[in-house]
Chain A
Amino acid sequence: MLKEYLPILILLVFAFVFAFGTLLLSHFVGPRKYSDVKGEPYESGIKPFMDARVRFSVKFYIIAMLFIIFDIEIVFLYPWVVVYKEIVSQGIFIFIEMIVFVAILLIGYFYLWKRGAFEWE
């Protein structure tokens, strides 16, 4: 059973080695000369007027949250699709299950639509 997971392990190790390898290499090879101007934010060559961490409208945050909700919903579909072929021959239950899941989220979608979370202006 374990043998099937060996390629994934090799992939993880290789990714880990490559990522931290390049970081270490650039740490040793790259020069580091700090100067006060280099630390300041770049604003097309002019000293910035104010710090960019400013309170802007909440709609950006709401849109981000909505995206995460519906993105996770799609992530749950992936494993379902992979096993759908074998299990659907035994019974229709797997299909009903996913329909219920999607329906619940659709209710949330319509609720948001009515509340006007999608108007941007």
Chain B
Amino acid sequence: MGIESLLKSNILVTTVDAVVNWGRKYSLWPMPMGTACCAIEFMSTLASRYDMGRFGAERLSFSPRQADLMVVAGRVSIKMMPVVIRIWEEIPEPKWCIAMGACASSGGVFDTYTLVQGIDQFIPVDVYIAGCPPRPEGVLDALVKIQKLVEQDSIKKRK
């Protein structure tokens, strides 16, 4: 004799989490930390052929204040790493991070004195995309994975 049977079928009962997550999932504002070749491939994902707009993440926010998702697209040198860390801290919770391409995930082909071998040593990365540069379909698949993570998020955990 739950509440549902009282309300019959004309009122939908849901939790605040489900509504908030559903809203956030389909309107992620990515912050493109585009440094190198992966940024060009990220542009292809946004352009008309592969069209990230179908997934709701088309509106780029270059200022971290309104971003939900940081996409580190390209290799990160030791001079750029403090900037990436600072911008990651400036993004308000809840936030997610994608390491796009081999260079951001693990330093890629450049094992040199000036390249950070993978940004996950310093900032928490949720989804890695393999490829150098990954195809736009790979980026879209990573976005769908991030949307699944956004679904499981909950207000209680964050308090």
User: Does A associate with B in a complex?
Assistant: yes
**Complex: chain A residue closest to B64, CB-CB:** A42
Count how many chain B residues have C-beta atoms less than 8 Å from C-beta atoms of the other chain.
17
Q: CB < 8 Å: which of B20, B63, B87, B93 contacts A33?
A: B93
Residues in B with CB closer than 8 Å to A33 are 92-93
* B155 x A38 contact (CB < 8 A): no
Closest to A33 in B: B93
> How many cross-chain pairs have Cβ atoms below 8 Å apart between A and B?
31
Q: Which residues of B contact A45 (CB under 8 A)?
A: 83-84, 86-87
Is the Cβ of B65 less than 8 Å from the Cβ of A42? yes
Of A29, A31, A38, which one neighbours B90 at CB under 8 angstroms? Answer: A38
Chain B nearest Cβ from A53, distance in angstroms: 19
Interface size on A, residues (CB 8 A): 12
Q: Does A46 contact B (CB under 8 A)?
A: yes
Known: A29-B20, A40-B90. 7 other contacts (CB 8 A): A29-B155, A31-B158, A33-B93, A37-B89, A42-B64, A44-B83, A45-B84
Residues of A in contact with B (beta carbons under 8 Å apart): 29, 31, 33, 35, 37-38, 40, 42, 44-47
